[in-house]
Amino acid sequence: MLKQAHEAYNKQDFKTALDIYTKLSNEGNAEAETSLAFMYQNGQGCEQDLQKAVELYMVAAEKKQPYAMYNLALFYANGLNGVPFDQYKAHQLFLEAAVREVPPAMYEVGVMFEKGLGCEGNFSEAAFWYEEAAKRGHLEAFNNLGVLYKDGHGVIQDDKRAFICFSRAAEGDLKEGLYNLGLLYDQGIGCEEDHDKALDLCRKAAYKGHLKAKEIIKSLQEDGKIVF
């Protein structure tokens, strides 16, 4: 029945999915509880009910359902919908989800270790989790790992690895990746210097809303160095 519910959800037959998830949730199925919580969170096939979503995530998280722990951690990290702002609890939940191979949780754990949020700062741990998330295609993790390699934080400083990481992030059109890769081309770090390529990447990052890239493009236009 769970497979049937997933298929209905993917076809956007939310009513059918909601009915099945509800039935299975009442039987204590943790995956169904998590999916049902997500539907309540987003008002899919039902009225949005964040309190109900949180309650279901909590029940499923107690059963160690990975995505329930991840989604619940987001509530704690942001202090949403009556859930207290608690970075320690958020870190704990993100870490448990990360250990269970949830890529966005791996990324969030990396961020928290890098910034010392809800835990003691640890660049090596941050690099480890960014790499785990990056192996699974997480673009922001590629970008952040690239920054660590560029600066030599938690890893041996390596311009070529930074270039590879930023390139992967840029290939996915991540604005931060586009901007950071442009900086490397502009300065010839980890690659051959190429100002045209750097400018093209900066334009793309600016178009996607990267603030610093927008400032650079605006400044170049005002100085008459570029037309558009």
Which of helix, strand or coil describes residue 138? coil
pTM: 0.93
* Homologous superfamily in CATH for domain 64-137: Tetratricopeptide repeat domain (1.25.40.10)
Tens digit of each residue's pLDDT (9 = 90 or more) over 109-122: 999 999 999 999 99
Q: b/e per residue, 157-171, with b = 16+ CB within 10 A?
A: ebbebbbbbbbbbbe
Q: In the predicted model, is pLDDT for residue 228 greater than 60?
A: no
Domain 1-63: give its CATH code: 1.25.40
Summarised one tens digit per residue, pLDDT across range 46-82 is 999 999 999 999 999 999 999 999 999 999 999 988 8
150, 135 Cβ separation under 8 angstroms: no
Residues 207-221, mean pLDDT to the nearest whole number: 94
Q: Taking the C-alpha atoms of 129, 133, 136 and 140 in order, what is their torsion angle to the nearest 10 degrees?
A: -150
Mean pLDDT over all residues of the chain? 96
Superfamily of 141-228 according to CATH: Tetratricopeptide repeat domain (1.25.40.10)
